[in-house]
Amino acid sequence: MSTLAVSDASFEQDVLQSSKPVLVDFWAEWCAPCKQIGPALEELAGERADVMTIAKVNIDDNPDVPSKFGVKSIPTLMLFKDGQIVSTRVGAMAKSRIAEWLDEVASA
């Protein structure tokens, strides 16, 4: 399974109402660090498909959701569980760091 493209229109259903935790990557096509973490997120989406969804919101095409959640710089990764933000990270990270962070948050 690959990452899920989420829009302003689908955010509530795809993220806030999801039965699984959802990691949302706020990104843009012109953002080099966003492109840098893209492959890691795709891999993690496949590896963790049974326990979580990894979604991507293009901030240029979907400005409402990033504004609502106070996204000021990208990439911003927000982990949602039961419709609430449980953790946020800003900036590019190696796949191993993203995985460690997700493991820490999931066990909390």
CATH code for the domain of 74:
3.40.30.10
Number of alpha carbons in the 13 Å side-chain half-sphere of residue 71: 27
User: Among the options 15, 34, 77, 92, which is catalytic?
Assistant: 34
Evaluated on CA atoms 100, 3, 53, 57, the torsion sign reads: positive
- Number of domains within the chain: 1
Q: Which residue has the tokens 């109402």?
A: 17
Q: Which residues contact 47 (CB under 8 A, 6 or more apart)?
A: none
How far apart are alpha carbons 108 and 3 in whole angstroms? Answer: 24
User: Among the options 22, 31, 74, 102, which is catalytic?
Assistant: 31
Kindly report the pTM of this predicted structure.
Answer: 0.95
- Known active-site residue 4: no
DSSP string for residues in 58-96: ETTT--HHHHHTT--SSSEEEEEETTEEEEEEES---HH
- Known active-site residue 81: no
Is the confidence at residue 89, as pLDDT, over 80?
yes
The mean pLDDT value for 74-80 works out to: 98
DSSP string for residues in 18-67: -SS-EEEEEE-TT-HHHHHHHHHHHHHHHHTTTT-EEEEEETTT--HHHH
Determine the structural domain holding residue 17 and report its residue range.
Answer: 4-107
pLDDT category, 57, cuts 50, 70, 90? very high
C-alpha of 33 from chain center = 14
Q: What is the pLDDT of residues 1-32, one digit of tens each?
A: 699 999 999 999 999 999 999 999 999 999 99
